C-alpha cells in the first residue's frame, strides 16, 4: 500500500510540474507583453497571472478558499502584508487580490526557468544582501503606491521553516506604511505549508485557506510608531491564522 501511495504521489508531482510549466509558457505572451508596453497595461498582465493561477489550482486539485474579501475597498492602494509558508501561497494570493499589485521578490527567483522572466516583469526585485538594492526596491514600491497601485510584502522575509505560527517581522513594510501614510491590509495563508513544505518538492492535493484582515490605518503615524504598528499587524495576523478571524 505504501509503495502504491509513493508511486501515486510521484506521478502527481510530475503532473503538477507539467501543469506549472506548460500553462506558464502558454500564457507567457499575455503576461509579458503588457509589461513591455508600459505599466498602464499591467492589469492585462495580472489578468493572465490570475488565469494561470486559476488553471494551476483547478488542474492540480489544490483548492483555495477565500475569506474576508469584503475588506478590499475599490480604488484603494494597500500595503498587503502576508505570511509566507510555501510556494503554493503565490497562486492563491494572486487570485484573492483584485487587479494588479507589485510584490517584493527576492532575486533568487530570477533563476527559475520561465518563471524568472515573469518575476522580473511583474515584481520588484531585491537583493537582500545589498543595502543599495534594498533602498532602491523600497523607493520603487513607494513609487507604485503613489501611482495608486498596491504592493505586497512578506513581512517575515522568507518562508516560515520554524514551528512558530509566524516568524518575527522585518521593519520594511511598516516603514513604507508610515512614510506613505497608506493603509496596511493583512493577509494570511493557512494550509499551504502542509501541502508543499518549504525547501522541498513534496506535493499533495488539498485545501488552502486565505484570510483578509481588516484595514490597519496609518494616517498620522511617525517613525516612532513603526514598532507598535509592526506588533499590531503581527497580532492581527496571528489571530487570523489561529482563529480564522
In a domain, 192, yes or no: yes
pLDDT at position 161, please?
A: 87
Weakest mean pLDDT among 6-10, 193-197, 218-222 = 6-10
The answer on pLDDT for 237 being more than 90 is: yes
CB atoms within 10 A of CB 213: 20
Angle (CA) 66 53 79, round 5°? 60
Q: How confident is the model at residue 245 (pLDDT cuts 50, 70, 90)?
A: low
The count of structural domains within the chain is: 1
In a domain, 237, yes or no: yes
235 lies in which domain range? 62-243
pLDDT at position 103, please?
A: 93
**pLDDT (tens digit per residue) in 85-96:** 999 999 999 999
In a domain, 22, yes or no: no
CATH number, domain with residue 173: 3.40.1130.10
In a domain, 101, yes or no: yes
In a domain, 20, yes or no: no
- Separation CA 141–CA 133 (nearest Å): 12
In a domain, 195, yes or no: yes
In a domain, 228, yes or no: yes
Better-scored residue on pLDDT, 61 or 159: 61
In a domain, 55, yes or no: no
Amino acid at each position: 500500500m505504501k509503495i502504491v501511495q509513493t508511486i501515486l504521489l510521484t506521478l502527481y508531482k510530475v503532473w503538477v510540474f507539467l501543469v506549472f510549466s506548460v500553462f506558464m509558457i502558454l500564457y507567457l505572451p499575455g503576461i509579458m507583453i503588457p509589461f513591455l508596453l508600459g505599466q498602464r497595461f499591467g492589469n492585462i498582465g495580472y489578468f493572465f497571472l490570475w488565469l494561470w493561477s486559476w488553471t494551476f489550482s483547478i488542474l492540480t486539485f489544490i483548492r483555495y478558499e477565500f475569506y474576508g474579501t469584503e475588506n478590499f475597498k475599490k480604488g484603494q492602494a494597500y500595503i498587503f502584508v502576508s505570511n509566507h509558508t510555501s510556494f503554493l501561497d503565490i497562486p492563491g494570493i494572486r487570485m484573492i487580490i483584485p487587479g494588479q499589485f507589485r510584490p517584493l521578490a527576492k532575486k533568487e527567483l530570477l533563476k527559475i526557468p520561465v518563471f524568472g522572466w515573469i518575476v522580473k516583469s511583474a515584481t520588484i526585485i531585491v537583493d537582500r544582501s545589498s543595502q543599495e538594492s534594498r533602498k532602491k526596491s523600497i523607493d520603487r514600491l513607494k513609487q507604485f503606491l503613489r501611482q495608486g497601485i498596491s504592493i505586497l510584502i512578506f513581512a517575515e522575509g522568507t518562508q516560515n521553516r520554524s514551528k512558530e505560527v509566524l516568524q518575527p517581522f522585518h521593519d520594511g513594510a511598516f516603514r513604507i506604511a508610515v512614510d506613505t501614510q497608506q493603509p496596511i491590509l493583512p493577509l494570511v495563508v493557512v494550509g499551504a505549508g502542509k501541502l508543499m513544505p518549504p525547501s522541498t518538492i513534496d506535493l499533495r492535493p488539498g485545501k488552502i485557506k486565505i484570510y483578509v484582515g481588516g484595514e490597519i490605518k496609518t494616517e498620522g503615524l511617525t517613525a516612532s510608531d513603526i514598532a507598535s504598528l509592526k506588533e499590531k499587524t503581527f497580532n492581527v495576523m496571528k489571530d487570523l491564522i489561529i482563529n480564522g478571524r
